[in-house]
Structure 1
Amino acid sequence: MKNKIIGFILLLMLTTVLSACGNAKFKADYDLALPDFEHINQRGEAVSLKSLKGKPWIGMYIFTNCTSICPPMSFNMAQVQEKLKKKGVEDYQIVAFSVDPDVDKPEVLADYLSKYNVPDESKWNLLTGYSQKYIEQFAVKSTKIMVKDDPNTDQVIHGNQFFLVDKDGVLVKMYTGYAKNIEDVPIDTMASDIETYIDENL
């Protein structure tokens, strides 16, 4: 009888552990409330922090003349979206701030995005319509990511991070958006985090 009771207790403990593993909770790593903004996307539409609220969004910094990390970052973001599509996740947006706004007019950004096989272009907002100084200050002050124009070339130095912003406009997660080995970019983790966040908050 005693062995049966012990066996039952062990089975109950194992069931509890397995149940906990199957119900991962979303945990924020950051708490950075973003300031209000309103810019123009590649479709010529106004996009603001207010218009993005209500759903989470993934952000990054890129520019169309980039000869280094921007193309692979854009490809990696498309891969994240592909994972979300396979999971049936819909309630999110993707926001890419141009760090070269003088060159990156809406039509230039639209042409850039067309080069990537994105599963759903309507969820992408490639933003422009501000000054170089503005985006440098916004990136550092609001998202803790460096953006710096290189006066000696046509390139802009910027961080390779992806960042997750919650439905209230608060930056809650950061991820590596580019690495030499694609396996080091946490595409599956990003997709799972977004899915978990949406399941728990929307």
Structure 2
Amino acid sequence: MKKLLGAAAILLLYSACNLTGSKKTLPIYGEREVAAKNVNGQTVVDTIYHTIPAFKFINQYGDSITNKSLNGDIYVADFFFTSCPSICPVMHRNMLSVYKQFKDATDVKIISYSIDPKHDSVNVLKNYATKLDITGNTWYFLQGKKEDTYKLSESYLVTKPQEDAKQMFIHDGYFILVDKQQRIRGTYDGTKPQEVENLIADIKTLRTEADQNPTK
């Protein structure tokens, strides 16, 4: 959590400096480095941003989903488990607003990673999706090796999930907005409706950026 807040703080000035007139540009989260490269005999300085690494999981239909499956997509990610008695039901009731807003969009996806793959089989995830009235390929519920999921969570700049003494799972309730270049562009408390409204507005803003436009 401190990592996420620190990244957000670093980006406040960046975000402010990227307001061109009245047009808003979303910040890019995470560490970055500047690299020099030679292009046609000239030295060009390029910025290398933090991105989501390669991954491979199985969705509620039994299909393999990788980072390449999301090429050309803006997506929202979160971490949950189907037997969660606390924040997960609230998060996904709120995420339904995002799903309904963009379910007909060809370039927006939702990715929910289970942190309890031992229980959350493909059939369990499919039943979970059905209860939420989720159909089609806009919202994927994913499961894979727990250690892979836990490690990947750190790339999303959220607190790594944990298990307590009673074998319950502890995790953040954040929704993470990722652009078509696999860069993090926003984080939102998924338990708060106003934060989810902000997420919906930011997805619309992100889609207007030149390198995110669905017509490109």
**TM-score, scaled to structure 2:** 0.73
Residue matched to 1:135: 149
Q: 1:187 aligns with which of 196, 201, 205?
A: 196
Name the aligned partner's letter for residue 197 of structure 2: D
Instruction: Say whether the 8 Å CA contact 2:176–2:186 is kept in structure 1.
Output: yes
Q: CA RMSD in A?
A: 2.0
Q: Deviations over 1:59-78 (max 9, x none)?
A: 00011110001111011111
Amino acid across the alignment from 1:27: L
Secondary structure of 1:80 counterpart: helix
Counterpart mapping for 1:35-184 below 5 A: 35-84=53-102, 89-118=105-134, 121-130=136-145, 132-140=146-154, 142-146=155-159, 147-153=161-167, 155-179=168-192, 182=193
Higher relative contact order (CA 8 A, sep 6+): 1
Tell me the CA shift for residue 122 of structure 1.
2.1
Larger radius of gyration: 1
Q: What percent identity do the matched residue pairs reach?
A: 30
The 3-state SS of whatever aligns with 1:199 is: coil
Q: Secondary structure at the match of 1:122?
A: coil
> Any gaps of 5 or more consecutive residues in structure 2?
1-20, 31-49
Mapped to 1, the partners of 2:95 and 2:166 lie a distance apart of 29
Question: Unaligned stretches of 5+ in structure 1?
Answer: 1-19
SS in 1 for 2:208: helix
How high is the TM-score relative to the length of structure 1? Answer: 0.77
**Deviation, structure 1 residue 83:** 3.2
Whichever residue aligns with residue 39 of structure 1, its letter is F
The structure in which a higher percent of residues are helix is 1
Q: How many residues end up aligned between the 2 structures?
A: 172
